[in-house]
Chain A
Amino acid sequence: MAKNKKSLVLNVESCKGCNICIAFCPKKVLELKNDKCVIARPDDCINCGMCELRCPDNAIYLVGGNKDE
């Protein structure tokens, strides 16, 4: 894992299962299970932030990572 890598956080209570983050994730990290998003392959995440950018419900986001390191 790269030293500056951010981690993906999912707020399941806010997720409405619209499938947008899953469809637009370039590395197919996310999956839909029981009408909610799940982070199926977190190690494949490249921190592009597309899920956070497109999520209408602020349910998925990246945390951590330090630009100065």
Chain B
Amino acid sequence: MNFSEMTEKYYRTDKLPHIWCPGCGHGTLLNTVVRAIDKLGLNKDEVCIVSGIGCSSRAPGYLDFNTLHTTHGRALAFATGIKHANPNLHVIVITGDGDASAIGGNHLIHAARRNIDITTICFNNNIYGMTGGQYSPTTPTGDFGTTAPYGNTDSTFDLCNLVQGAGATYVARGTAYHAQAMEKLVVNAISNKGFSFVEGLSLCPTYYGRKNKKGDAVKMHEFLKDNCIDKKVVDKKPEMGENKIIIGEMYNNPKPEYTENYKVVIDKFQK
């Protein structure tokens, strides 16, 4: 098989093609992360990609960095350990909506509260894809899943608001359709010294799309194209944001970072 220069450089090409379904947004989002790392010119040995369990969490297996595939929801807990052991590493967590906000919800809010220098990229496909289409905390109210055959009655997590409220210093939302914008958000997130969270709206044509009659992958891309609006536009004209998904940079306010604060304490006792 032949691949582009970028793919040859950053992917474990012997593991490709990946297991994701045809049209899955995760492949597109993973490419935005790879391009962002390339743009920043990071040394491959100084990057560590960590993931939990789920469709999204298959990603590190295909990437040629230091990678770790951990237990369900605990990617941020492992990443916290890695960051403490070697604060010079760029620790990037690739997680899914269920992995980050349901099973690993506690780890997510506490990593954000501590403002530890970890970049979390959440591939949000609104459903548990790997286990067969159960509804997740981000499945919109009223939508269907295999465990919500009459419609989901739960309210939905707004992941960006949740993480911002918990204390993250960089919060943004991108989509698989707006791939170039997503790439810039990931660049900013990795550059931020502190907890950064980027929610990448993905698409699941196999489960979420089929259960909710959203059409094929192309239709779902067009849905993202038609229903997303940049925060900068909404800030100027709030009426344009009605019934739309707001994307772009949500919050950027640097604060002292956790491992640096921790080092101050360690140094105090080593004198």
- Docked CA distance A16–B6 (Å): 20
Asked whether B4 lies within 8 Å of A56 as measured between CB atoms, the reply is no
- B2 and A55 contact, CB distance less than 8 A: no
The verdict on A19 contacting B17 (CB below 8 Å), with A9-B2, A14-B1 known, is no
**Closest beta carbon of chain A to B38's beta carbon, Å:** 14
A-B contact count (CB 8 A): 75
Instruction: Pick from B3, B22, B27, B28: contact of A17, CB below 8 A.
Output: B22
Q: A18-B218, A61-B4 are known contacts; what are 12 more A-B pairs with Cβ within 8 Å?
A: A11-B3, A14-B17, A18-B22, A23-B218, A53-B28, A54-B28, A54-B221, A56-B20, A57-B18, A58-B16, A59-B17, A63-B5
30 A/B residue pairs, CB under 8 Å, sorted by A: A9-B4, A11-B1, A11-B3, A13-B1, A13-B17, A14-B1, A14-B3, A14-B17, A16-B22, A18-B22, A18-B23, A18-B205, A18-B217, A19-B23, A20-B221, A24-B218, A53-B28, A53-B179, A53-B180, A55-B27, A55-B31, A57-B16, A58-B4, A58-B11, A58-B27, A58-B31, A59-B17, A61-B4, A63-B4, A63-B5
B contact set with A: CB distance below 8 Å: 1-7, 11, 16-18, 20-28, 31, 176-177, 179-180, 205, 216-218, 221
Closest to B218 in A: A23
**Cα of A23 to Cα of B24 in the assembled complex, Å:** 15
By Cβ-Cβ distance, the 7 closest A-B pairs, closest first, are A56-B27, A18-B23, A16-B22, A61-B4, A18-B22, A23-B218, A14-B17
Tell which of A20, A24, A63 has the most Cβ of chain B within 10 Å. A20
B11/A56 in contact, CB under 8 A: no
Instruction: Tell me whether A52 is interfacial, beta carbon within 8 Å.
Output: yes
In the complex, chain A residues 20-69 whose Cβ is within 8 Å of any chain B Cβ: 20, 23-24, 52-59, 61-63
* B-side contacts of A11, CB under 8 Å: 1-3
